[in-house]
Structure 1
Amino acid sequence: MGNYSMSNLINLVGHLPSAGVIIVDEKNRVLLQLRTDNNKWSIPGGAMVLGETTEEAAKREVFEETNLVVEELSLFNVYSGEEQHWIYPDGNEVYFISIVYITNRFSGTVKVDGIEGKELKFFDINNLPKEITPCNKPILSDLKNRLVHNF
């Protein structure tokens, strides 16, 4: 395939597989992180690395971004298309194929990584912050509908 940097490969391919986790606490609140790159809230998650399963990527990203260990992941949904368009701060433009899991099984103490996120907070699904990362809006909308019917 030649000598492509990650950014060249992303621009060449255009689609980037990612995995994230909706973490729900005992009060049916969802954990969101305030991202440093766009100053908006999103679920923990990120791009998969070569050879990783989606579950491994989801667990790794959650741990890196929140210091939490998640267990018993259930597939929530897969998101793709225009709603998953993202432009990185360096100008790289991608369309995520987002594999999203949900769990209420987690352990550890919430700790902000300070790199990708600057705040972590559990929110009531009916009282989410206004500034949501655009590609997370359909995820959180689906979550709101699902929590009404108990996931």
Structure 2
Amino acid sequence: MNYISEMRKFIGNETLFTVGCGVIIEENERILLQHRTDEDNWCIPGGVMEIGETFEITAKRETFEETGLIVTGLELFGLYSGEKCFVQYPNKDKVFSVQIIFKTNNYTGELKQVGIESREHKFFSKTELPVNLNPRQKAFVLDWKENKKTPIIK
């Protein structure tokens, strides 16, 4: 069942409250970002929780769907909420999403470069991050860049 599709039948484009889970994947002090096809910006792998899932299962499922990678050893990186978690998409759908972000450097699998949601994946160092970061994810990418060590609550 796709929760968002089902709810949109009832509320149309009005604001839907969701829980998003994402993973900061590190390799040699670099972060894996994906270039999104829908908004033409860079973000970490992740997506929306489905009914009955745990935060960790959502993060792992979404990461696999978007990258082809299986992540393990997830550690809580941060909890994000507030104005920057609101978006109105080009189709007029509105969403407010609380973000649960994990971090890991443990992964297996072959990175798929092209998919429905992304056109490219690339590891970036802290000094070469792209300028067109997803505005709803910029806070946690910059927190990663600044070496935040304890779970962040924003």
**1:33 maps to 2:64:** no
Shift of 1:11: 5.3
1:100 aligned counterpart, secondary structure: strand
Shift of 1:71: 0.2
**1:22 maps to 2:24:** yes
For 2:82, the equivalent position in structure 1 comes to 81
C-alpha spacing 1:114/1:21, structure 2 compared with 1 (3 Å): same
Say whether the 8 Å CA contact 2:21–2:101 is kept in structure 1. Answer: yes
Compare the two structures and name the one with the higher helix fraction: 1
1:98 aligned counterpart, secondary structure: strand
1:142 aligned counterpart, secondary structure: helix
1:61 aligned counterpart, secondary structure: helix
For 1:91, the equivalent position in structure 2 comes to 92
Calculate the aligned-residue CA RMSD, in Å: 2.1
C-alpha spacing 1:131/1:62, structure 2 compared with 1 (3 Å): same
Of all paired residues, the percent bearing the same amino acid is: 42
Number of equivalences: 146
Residue range with higher mean Cα deviation, 61-70 or 105-114: 105-114
Unaligned runs of 5+ in 1: none
Aligned AA for 2:107?
Answer: F
Please, what TM-score do these two structures have when normalized by structure 2? 0.87
Say whether the 8 Å CA contact 2:46–2:63 is kept in structure 1. Answer: yes
Deviating 4+ runs (over 6 angstroms): none
Aligned AA for 2:26?
Answer: V
Please, what TM-score do these two structures have when normalized by structure 1? 0.88
For 2:123, the equivalent position in structure 1 comes to 122
